[in-house]
Amino acid sequence: MTRAMRRPLVAATGAVLLAATTAACGGGSGGDTEGDGTLSVWIMQGTNPDAEGFFDDVSAAFEEETGATLDVEFVEWGDAHNRFVTSIAGGTTPDVAETGTTWTPEFADAGALAPLDEYVDAAGIGDDLVEGLVEAGTYDEQLYGMPWYAGVRSLVYNTEMFEQAGVEPPTTWAELEDAAAGLKEEYPDKIAVAVPGDAEFTVYPWVWGAGGEVATLDGDTWTSGLDSPESQDGIGFWTGLATEGGYSSTGATTWRETDVLDAFAAGDVGMAVMGSWTPGAIVDANPDMEGKFAAVPIPGKDGGIAPSVLGGSHLSMFETAEDKDLAFTFIEMMTTGEFAQQWGEQSGYFPGQVSLLDETLESTDPLVAPFAQQFVEGGASVPVAPTYGAVQAKLTTSTMMQSILSGDADVAEASKAAAEEMTGVLNGSE
Amino acid sequence: MSTTRSGLALRPLSRTSRRSPLRQLGKGVLVALLLVFTLFPVYWMLNSSLDARAGHTSSFWPAEPTLDHYVFVLTEGGFGTFLRNSLIVALGTVVVSSVLALLASVAVARFRFRLRTQILMLVLIVQMVPLEALVIPLFVQVRDLQLLETLIGLVIVYVALALPFGIWMLRGFVAAVPVELEEAAYLDGATWGRMFWSVLLPLVAPGLVATSIFSFITAWNEFIFAMTMLGGATENYTVAIGLRSFFGVHSNDWGAIMAASTIITVPVMIFFILVQRRLASGLTAGAVKA
Amino acid sequence: MRPWLLLTPALLVLAVLLLWPLVRVFLFSLQDYGLREITTGEPNWIGTANYAEILTSPELWTVVLPNTVGFAVLSVVGTVAFGTGVAVLLASLGTFWRTVTSSAIMAAWAMPAVTGTYVWIWIFDADRGVFNDVLMGTGLLDEPTNWFTDRWSFYAIVLLNVIHHGFPFVAVTVLAGLLGVPKEMLEAAEMDGAGSFRRFFSIIVPQLRQVFAVVIILSTIWDFKVFAQVYLMPGGAGSNRSVLNLGVWSYVESFGQNRYGFGSAIAVLLTLLLLAITAIYVRTVLAEEER
């Protein structure tokens, strides 16, 4: 062994030191500041199975119109919020991004988004936008999220099971209960109606349908209405189907919407509250189910349609975007006209532009028309507040449902606790 | 297993009286139970990965056997690339952290200097901090180093995460080597470097193997920092990120998840099996003084 | 000079990558640091208010800490005991079976924690899980039970999961230790009439003190910080308030609500707590230093 062997060691140490120092001294700007003529965009993964092809078309059209290139990045929903936060912290935010409707007020409040009113007015499209989405995207009286697409949840049911059991799709709560009983008799081993414990948006239609409110704003203060007599009535009805009627299952106590879909696709569920985007996923999961299910709007207590949450996305512009005009050109291209319609068709969602909706409403497809009806006549929004995200993070509504469904608390106790918590969190005092 | 120590301490000393059939049977039962417990989840993972109806049935054998999930994961799922990236990152982490930890542990174990205990304590404390709290500050730091969206940046982060454990473990190994051996080498006229290379290193080698396995696993399965540091650079994604991509918005692709998990498990298993024997002797020497 | 030369590369990496971020975590903990602060980069000092809020939170003391500490104790004891038992068993096997068994153990270790968690979730699924199927099949259960809604059964499943994933590390480490115990000592003890249990506890265990110290410290740190194994379980993400542990609670209360200062404060407190708990064992290890 010679000095030649000692050298590598010293060299290694030196190299590491050198590399580290060089890296640390690296100057220049970091981040996503695009050079001239490129627009960076983040889109959520999975909404549109045909997304790549779609964006190829959009890029071509965009480049033709503006001469600028489009840089589209697909982000997983589950990690998206973290990505947004770290990118804001690190200054690597895109120019335009798809933001879930509950995120837009949150980011707007933080000052990360640029207001769009000017651009919308200039383009003259203000009146043609879906109300529910505009509401969800407005913060402090300014519009930050451009309505892009939305879906709505209605009552999806297994037509085969219904036929066999001789029941009709319900139009009132009493009918729903009867249908469930009929299904249970015919299929004792299946779930007549799925009552999931961890699916927030499947609860609110029953609250609203009974005349209750999730939360109301009075001046600057929010008050949750989950424990009002009407709300309790609704929650009681919905959970009663499981706890008293036994029409659901013990497993469903901890189910999320994905679990409901899984079970429905497997043919184990008679009816469930599911989104307008699920038919495609159901058939994907189980091709045998094709043609064996349909939808009806969620019935109100004595008839009519119970309001259901309009869940969807906005396209938002970040304050860090260098060329805001360019950014809005892209936003307009995506949310109105031909591309908006194409996206809606490919993804199974409804576009955010009213004039485009008219066509969809004419559809006779049993898996589109009921949802469309719910969308237009029974579309509602959760409280639009930057703090609503916190309520969702704490799973306030799910906690309430789970404690009722597992028998740990009755409707009165659980709803009171939930209302208190929600009021506290919405007002930022938690 | 190891031939460098005094042999199996628990082998029955008087063979005739211990090898009773009852005892053998008892051991057999225990081994069988152990194998069932240990392998049941692994078996379930494999079972589901080969079943077209994964996640929707609970049968002990694939209800609808298929290799589709594996094909999907390796082609469309992008796992070919992810495996390569993870391998680069994991091996890079192992090499760099092993070198740095070894040097540092020699310093800490062999020399007395001021702040020695404090540095050891600091190294221990760093292991206790929950990683989620570090995400944003570390992200900003890596951005400042211009290493975002690169595999090198990720390697450096993992090295930083693996170093504390490595230093701590290797410290024991180095200390376990009798000083007399080193002194003998000096008496023979060796320089420090030569002593290190031909005396210390071979004896510490098992320890290096042990700590490198830990670095490998850390880098291989880690998700949060990989996701954060790599951002949108999909060509650099690791298997951990790839696995998460099958958890969809509407429903999870359980078949793909289980196939991907199996694929993720295999390289680690191979690594383990190859270095098994060294590992055992390695881990203990690190903790026990000679 | 030499020790510092050897130390520098490692210290440099640690300092640049970890030290500064750690300092920032501490600084965040003294602020009301949310999205707005992240966007503007402007600090928002509130002193020790975060710490006060954490320490006066009733949920922390009635549910979160008891769950976390109780679980950590059970899982450390379980993992170490089980792992040691397995190590003893392994040591007494012939080469073939030892190789087979240790390979099986490696598989349990190598399986990603997330995957393992989902497998256990399926096994105990209320409607379609194997566990309920078997219980109902043998008549021990009339109706499917949801094992995730009750705190005790929930944590029993988590315990199973964590021990399954964690015992290989212990088994392998202790096995290696066992192989290093001097044969002569055991022979002498046997000649003096000591049975196997007595030999184990009076000779082997003391020899393995350092091994056990290392294993216990690491297991404690890891089991305290358990997050995914609880979060991914049905109801474990916050909708079942009775099963909250420190990892999930801190995530929901801080990062889930964009309260990064609050989350940082929890991180600092957790580190101090772990330091306090492992102090005894750390002293054992460091005491050997001063030889």
Amino acid at site B201: L
Pair A290, A421 in one domain: yes
> Are residues A426 and A383 in contact, defined by beta-carbon separation less than 8 angstroms?
yes
Domain count, chain A: 2
List chains touching C (3+ CB pairs under 8 A).
A, B
Q: What share of chain C is helix, strand, coil (3-state, %, to 5)?
A: 75, 0, 25
Segment holding C13, helix H or strand E: helix C2-14
Bridge-based pairing state of the strands A138-139 and A142-143: antiparallel
C240 assigned to some structural domain: yes
Q: What is the pLDDT of residue A3?
A: 44
**What distance in Å separates residue B250's CA from the closest CA in chain A?**
5
pLDDT tens for each residue of A267-277:
999 999 999 98
Pair A121, A261 in one domain: no
**What distance in Å separates residue C58's CA from the closest CA in chain B?**
22
Which comes out higher in pLDDT, residue A295 or B19?
A295
C52 assigned to some structural domain: no
> Is the pLDDT assigned to residue A53 strictly greater than 50?
yes
Pick the last residue of a domain from A354, A372, A390: A372
Candidate from A198, A249, A425 with C-beta closest to C235: A198
Pair A157, A289 in one domain: yes
> Is the pLDDT assigned to residue A378 strictly greater than 90?
no
Pair A177, A267 in one domain: yes
For position C127, which CATH number holds? 1.10.3720.10
State ipTM.
0.82
Pick the last residue of a domain from A328, A349, A372: A372
SS (HEC) of chain B: CCCCCCCCCCCCCCHHHHCCHHHHHHHHHHHHHHHHHHHHHHHHHHHHHCECCCCCCCCCCCCCECCHHHHHHHCCCCHHHHHHHHHHHHHHHHHHHHHHHHHHHHHHHHCCCCCHHHHHHHHHHHCCCCHHHHHHHHHHHHHHCCCCCCHHHHHHHHHHHHHHHHHHHHHHHHHHCCHHHHHHHHHCCCCHHHHHHHHHHHHHHHHHHHHHHHHHHHHHHCCHHHHHHHCCCHHHCCHHHHHHCCECCCCECHHHHHHHHHHHHHHHHHHHHHHHHHHHHHHHHHHCCC
CA angle, residues C255, B164, B122, in degrees to nearest 5:
80
Mutate to test the interface with C, among B34, B39, B73, B121 (most CBs of C within 10 A): B34
Closest to C106 measured CA to CA, from C128, C133, C86, C131: C86
Report residue A158 as tokens.
């297994």
Q: What is the pLDDT of residue A168?
A: 92
Is A255 at the interface with chain C, CB within 8 A? yes
Compute the CA torsion angle B145, B151, B155, B156 (nearest 10 deg).
-10
**What distance in Å separates residue A211's CA from the closest CA in chain C?**
25
Q: What is the pLDDT of residue A169?
A: 93
Residues in chain C where the model's pLDDT stays below 70 = 1, 179-183, 207, 285-291
Per-residue pLDDT, averaged over A195-205, amounts to 94
pLDDT tens for each residue of A56-76:
999 999 999 999 999 999 998
Report residue C61 as tokens.
């003391």
Pair A30, A129 in one domain: yes
Q: What is the pLDDT of residue A352?
A: 87
C248 assigned to some structural domain: yes
Q: What is the pLDDT of residue A212?
A: 92
C44 assigned to some structural domain: no
> Is the pLDDT assigned to residue A194 strictly greater than 90?
yes
The region of weakest confidence among A21-25, A378-382, B170-174 is A21-25
**What distance in Å separates residue A94's CA from the closest CA in chain B?**
11
Give the mean pLDDT of chain A. 86
Q: What is the pLDDT of residue B174?
A: 79
Pair A137, A177 in one domain: no
List chains touching B (3+ CB pairs under 8 A).
A, C
Domain span at residue A106?
3-150+310-372
Q: What is the pLDDT of residue A372?
A: 86
Distance from C-alpha of B226 to C-alpha of B61, rounded to nearest angstrom: 35
A377 assigned to some structural domain: no
C1 assigned to some structural domain: no
Domain span at residue C130?
61-290
Q: What is the pLDDT of residue A17?
A: 41
Pair A41, A79 in one domain: yes
Pair A231, A156 in one domain: yes
Contacts of A85 in chain B (CB under 8 A): 136
Q: What is the pLDDT of residue A116?
A: 93
Q: Which residue of A has its CA nearest to C6?
A: A13
Task: Please name every residue paired with A315 in a beta bridge, in sequence order, or none if there are none.
Answer: A98, A146
Q: What is the pLDDT of residue A24?
A: 37
Mutate to test the interface with C, among B10, B33, B113, B114 (most CBs of C within 10 A): B10
Q: Which residues 110-139 in chain C show a CB within 8 A of chain A?
A: 125-128
> Is the pLDDT assigned to residue A360 strictly greater than 80?
no
For position A134, which CATH number holds? 3.40.190.10
Domain count, chain C: 1
Q: What is the pLDDT of residue A27?
A: 33
Is A140 at the interface with chain B, CB within 8 A? no
Contacts of A393 in chain C (CB under 8 A): 238, 252, 256-257
| Binary contact (A249, C144; C-beta < 8 A) | yes
pLDDT tens for each residue of A78-111:
788 888 988 888 888 999 999 998 899 999 998 9
Burial status of residue C153 (CB atoms within 10 A of its CB: 0-12, 13-18, 19 or more):
middle
Q: What is the pLDDT of residue C181?
A: 67
pLDDT in tens, chain B (290 residues): 333 343 444 444 444 445 678 888 888 899 999 999 999 999 989 998 998 877 766 678 887 888 988 998 888 888 989 999 999 999 999 999 999 999 898 888 888 787 888 888 888 888 888 888 888 888 888 888 888 889 999 999 999 988 988 888 788 777 777 788 888 888 888 787 888 888 787 777 767 777 787 788 888 988 889 988 888 888 899 998 888 888 877 778 888 889 999 999 888 888 777 766 655 554 444 444 33
Is A4 at the interface with chain B, CB within 8 A? no
Per-residue pLDDT, averaged over A151-178, amounts to 93
List chains touching A (3+ CB pairs under 8 A).
B, C
A49 assigned to some structural domain: yes
Pair A185, A290 in one domain: yes
> Is the pLDDT assigned to residue A386 strictly greater than 50?
yes
Report residue A176 as tokens.
């729903």
Distance from C-alpha of C116 to C-alpha of C232, rounded to nearest angstrom: 11
**What distance in Å separates residue A278's CA from the closest CA in chain B?**
7
